[in-house]
Structure 1
Amino acid sequence: MRITVFGATGGVGREVVRQALDAGHEVTAVVRDPARLAVPAHERLLVATVTDVTDVETVLPVVSGRDAVVSALGAANNKQAKAKPVAGPALAAITAAMDRAGVRRLSAVSAAPVGRLPDGEGLFTRAVVYPLLRRLLRDLYADLADMEAAVAASGTQWTVVRPPMLRNTPRTGTYRRAIDANVPGGRVIPRADVADALLTAPTDPSCTGRAVGVAS
C-alpha cells in the first residue's frame, strides 16, 4: 500500500513508519522538521515537510494518490494541557483533503480516557485514576474528542485507536483489543504495538467505523 503518516517524528509515528517500510509499503512521512525523523533513508520512504497540518490545501498533496492515511497526531504531540489544540483541527483538514482526493482508509491514534471505562473496572481506576486524568488533562482530551468527532463525521473508512499509558518497549504483537470500548485492566502498551494496531486497522473490516481500545 501507499501510506501517508502524519506525526511521523513522534514516538508512535516513527514506529508506524518503520513497521510500514518493513512490511513493504510505500510511505510518505509528514513532518515539520525532517531532521527529527529518526528513521533511516529508504527507497520507499518520501519525507514531506508540512508546517500547517490544519490547512486543507497544504495537506491535499500529501494524501492524494495514497491508499491509506495514518495519523499519529495525538497526546504525544501536545504534551501540555494548555497547549493549542492540534489533533482536532488537523484531522478536520486531513479528512476534508482525503474526501477531495478520494482516499478512504484512515486510522488515527487517540487515548483511552477519551472512551468510556470498561465494565468491571476496579474502583480505584473509576474513582481516582480516570477522573484525575480527565481533570488534569481536560484540554488535551477535549482536543482528542474533537479529533474523534471530526473523523466520525468524515466520509472515510476510519478507525480510532485508544491506548492507555505508552511505553518505549519492544513490539509484542500480542496486545489486547476491545471494539468500541477500553480494555479491562489495560494500564500500559508499547508504542510499537500501538503502531501495529494503526497499520492493521485499515485492512481489518471489523475495525471500520469503530473506536478500538488496545492494551498489553
Structure 2
Amino acid sequence: MKITVFGATGGIGGQVVRQALEAGHKVSAVVRASSSYDLVDPSLEVVRVAGLTDAGPLFDAVDGSDAVISGVGPRGRKDGPVASGSTRSILAAMSQAGVRRFVAVSAAPLGPVPPDESFLNRRVILPMINAFAADVYADLRVMEADILSSATDWTIVRPPKLTSKSLTGTYRTVIGGTVSRGYSISRADVAHLMLAAVGNPAMVNQPVGVAY
C-alpha cells in the first residue's frame, strides 16, 4: 500500500511514517521545504512543499496513493488555524487526484462526553481544557466539519493528552464516541491506530475515540 503522510516532522506524523515503513508500506512524507528531515528508506519518498495552504503543490504528493494520513496540528495555542487551513488544501488535492481514504487526527474534547465519564473529567478537566485551548478546538471543529462534508472515506481520530512514551499497541477505542476516563495516550499509539484505521471498514466515516 502507498500512504501519503502530512505532518511527517511532527510527533504523530513522524511515528506514522516509521511504523508504515516497518509494516512494508510505501510512504510519501510531506514536509516543509524549510524543515530538516533526515529519515532515509528505500520505500520512502520525501516531498518538500513551501506550505500546506495551496492545494496545487500537494497534488503530486497524494496522486497514486491508496490513503492519506494527516498528523497536522498546531504545536502551540498561538499557531493559528493550522489544522483547518491545511486540511482544506489536503482535501482539495485528494479530490483532484481521486484519492478517497483519509485519516486525520483531532482531539478528544470534540467528542461527546460519555454518560459514565468521571466527575473529575466532566466537571473539572474538560471545562478547563476547553477554556484554555478554545482557539485550538475552534480550529479543529472547522477542520472536522470540512472533513465530514468532503467526498472522502474519512476517519477522525480523537486522542486525549498526548505523551512521548513508546508504542504499546494496547489501548481502548470507541467508534463514534469517546473513551470514558481516558486521560492520555502516546503519539506512537495514536499513529498505530491511524494506520490500523486505514484498513478497517468499521471506522470509515466515523470519529474514533482512543485512550489508555
Q: Say if 1:161 and 1:212, in contact at 8 Å, map to a contact too.
A: yes
Aligned to 1:50: 49
Distance, in Å, in 2 between the alignment partners of 1:11 and 1:34 is 18
Q: 1:82 aligns with which of 78, 83, 98?
A: 78
Residue by residue, what CA displacement relative to the aligned partner does 1:59-94 show, whole Å, maximum 9, x if unpaired? 1111111110000012xxx13323221111111111
Q: 1:34 to 1:5 in 2, by over 3 A?
A: farther
The one-letter code of the counterpart of 2:128 is L
Distance, in Å, in 2 between the alignment partners of 1:206 and 1:139 is 31
Q: 2:184 aligns with which of 151, 176, 188?
A: 188
| TM-score, reference length from structure 2 | 0.96
Distance, in Å, in 2 between the alignment partners of 1:191 and 1:3 is 18
What percentage of residue pairs aligned between the two structures are identical?
47
Matched, 1:165 2:164: no
Displacement of 1:37 in angstroms is 3.0
Distance, in Å, in 2 between the alignment partners of 1:107 and 1:150 is 13
Distance, in Å, in 1 between the alignment partners of 2:55 and 2:35 is 24
* RMSD over aligned Cα atoms: 1.3
| TM-score, reference length from structure 1 | 0.94
Distance, in Å, in 2 between the alignment partners of 1:43 and 1:199 is 20
Matched, 1:145 2:144: no
Distance, in Å, in 1 between the alignment partners of 2:141 and 2:113 is 15
Aligned to 2:174: 178
Distance, in Å, in 2 between the alignment partners of 1:23 and 1:102 is 25
Matched, 1:32 2:67: no
Displacement of 1:35 in angstroms is 5.1
Which 10-residue stretch deviates more, 49-58 or 199-208?
49-58
SS of match in other structure, 2:182: coil
Distance, in Å, in 2 between the alignment partners of 1:37 and 1:139 is 29
Matches within 5 A, 1:36-115: 36-37=36-37, 40-74=39-73, 78-115=74-111
The one-letter code of the counterpart of 1:42 is D
Distance, in Å, in 2 between the alignment partners of 1:89 and 1:54 is 6
SS of match in other structure, 1:106: strand
SS of match in other structure, 1:36: coil
Distance, in Å, in 1 between the alignment partners of 2:138 and 2:24 is 36
Distance, in Å, in 2 between the alignment partners of 1:55 and 1:46 is 20
The one-letter code of the counterpart of 2:89 is A
SS of match in other structure, 2:41: coil
> Any gaps of 5 or more consecutive residues in structure 2?
none
Distance, in Å, in 1 between the alignment partners of 2:14 and 2:78 is 25
Distance, in Å, in 1 between the alignment partners of 2:7 and 2:60 is 16
Q: Say if 1:67 and 1:105, in contact at 8 Å, map to a contact too.
A: yes
